[in-house]
Structure 1
Amino acid sequence: MTAASTPKGERRRSALIEAAAELLAEGGFDAIRHRAVAERAGLPLASTTYYFDSLDDLITAAVGHKGREELSEGWAQLAELSTEHRDLDAVVELLLDQLLGVDTRYEAVLLRYERLVTTGRRPYLRPLMRAMQGEFHELLTEILRRSDMPIDSDRLRQLIALVDGAVVNALIEVDPDPRAVARAMLRKALAADRPRRE
C-alpha cells in the first residue's frame, strides 16, 4: 500500500488537487506552481512532488477536477429543469451557463477560454479534454432535447463554434461583454432553427 492510497494520503492528494483547481480558476495555468498549491492546501511543499510525478500531472488532475465539477453542476442544473415549455431566451441562458459558466465576469470567461486554448499547447491534456468534451456535448444535447429543440451533433458543433467565435471577438472590444455578444448570436441561430422543427 502506498502512502497515497491510505486515507490520509488520499485526503492530502485531494486537498492538493482542489487547491490547484482553485488556482486554475482564479489565475489560469500560470498560477499552478508547487509552492502556491502546497500553501493553498496547507501542506508542506514536498507534498506536491510526493503525490504527483510532475507539475504536468498536478495540472492534469486540476483540469480534470475543475472540468468534472463544471459538468456536475451542469447535470444538476439539467436535473432541476421542469418539463414546462421554456422560451428561447431561457434556453439560450441555459446553454450559455454551460458554455461560458455562470460567473459572467470578463476575467472568469477569459480564464475558461484560456483553459481550452492552452490544451493545444499542452498535448498531455488532450485525452482528458476530449473525454470531457464528449460528456459536455451529451449535456448540451440533453438540455436542447428537454427544451423541445433537438439537434444533431453537427449542428451542436456549429452552435458551439458560433459562441466561441463571438466570445473571442468580444474579448478584444473596448468594453467587452462576451456573454451579451454570445447571447445575441446564439439566440439568432436557434431562432432560425426553430421553424424547421415545428
Structure 2
Amino acid sequence: MGEAVDGRRARGERRRAELVAATLRVVARDGAAKVTHRAVAKEACAPPSSAVYYFATLDDLLVAALTEATEDYVRRLREALHGGAEPVAALGGVLADGCRPGGGRERVLAEFELSLLAARRPSLRPVVRRWNDLVADVARRYTADPVAVRAAVAAANGLSMEAVLAEEGVSEKEMTAVLRHVLGTGAPAAEAPDAD
C-alpha cells in the first residue's frame, strides 16, 4: 500500500512540476495575460482538469511558477557561494548565465513579466522580495550602507533587464564590474588592470 501511495505522490509531483514549467513557457511566449488553466494544461500535454486540480486559482499557478524560477536562482547562487566563489562574482555569474542568449533568456523574460505582475497581484510580492533579499545579503557582505545595498539590488535587476533586451546579452564580466562599481569594491587584486 505504501509503495502505491508513494508512486501516486511521485506522479503528482511530476505533474505539478510539468504544469509549473508549462506556465513559465506560456508566460515567456504569450505573456502572463494568456495564462489560463486550460492553456497551461495544453502546454503541459495534460488533461485540462489537471491544472485546476493542482492549482485552484490562477494566482496559485503564477506564484508556483515564479517561486520555481526564483528558487532556481537562489539555489545556483548558494551553490556558487558554498563552492567558495567570491560573492559579487558569483552573483554576476548567476545573472549572466540566466540571461545568456540561447540559454534561459526566455525564462528570465517570463520572470520579469511575473515580477511586474506583482504590482497588481500581491500574492506574487513575497517571491519577488525573496530574490531581492538574497541580492541584498550579497551586497551587505561588502557594505553596511543601506543606499549602496539598494543600489546593488537595483543594478542586479537592471542588468538582467538589459541582458534580456540586448541581442548579445551581458557578459558575466560586465555584470560583475557594474556590481563592484555600485558597491565600491573595485576589481579584486587578481583582476586589477595593469598600471601603465
Q: Give TM class, smaller chain.
A: 0.5 to 0.7
Q: Specify the alignment match of 1:179 in structure 2.
A: 170
Q: Specify the alignment match of 2:124 in structure 1.
A: 125
Tell me which amino acid in the other structure corresponds to 2:149.
L
Q: Specify the alignment match of 1:68 in structure 2.
A: 71
Name structure 2 gaps, 5 residues minimum.
188-196
TM-score (norm 2): 0.65
1:113-138 alpha-carbon deviations (Å, 9 max, x no partner)? 33332211222211333344334433
Q: Specify the alignment match of 1:95 in structure 2.
A: 91
Residue 55 of structure 1: how far off its partner (Å): 1.3
SS at match of 2:61: helix
Residue 19 of structure 1: how far off its partner (Å): 2.5
Q: Specify the alignment match of 2:84 in structure 1.
A: 81
Tell me which amino acid in the other structure corresponds to 2:127.
L
Tell me which amino acid in the other structure corresponds to 1:52.
F
1:66-122 alpha-carbon deviations (Å, 9 max, x no partner)? 11112112212222235xxx6xxxx65532334465332376654443333221122
**Aligned counterpart in structure 1 of residue 44 of structure 2, from 41, 44, 48:** 41
Q: Specify the alignment match of 1:157 in structure 2.
A: 150
Q: Partners in 2 of 1:58 and 1:134 — Cα distance? A: 23
SS at match of 1:179: coil
Identical amino acids, percent of aligned pairs: 29
Number of residue pairs matched? Answer: 174
Question: Judging changes above 3 Å, is the alpha-carbon distance between structure 1 residues 102 and 15 closer, same or farther for their aligned structure 2 residues?
Answer: closer
Tell me which amino acid in the other structure corresponds to 1:129.
V
Name structure 1 gaps, 5 residues minimum.
none
Query: What is the root-mean-square deviation in Å for CA atoms of aligned residues?
Result: 3.7
Tell me which amino acid in the other structure corresponds to 2:170.
R
TM-score (norm 1): 0.64
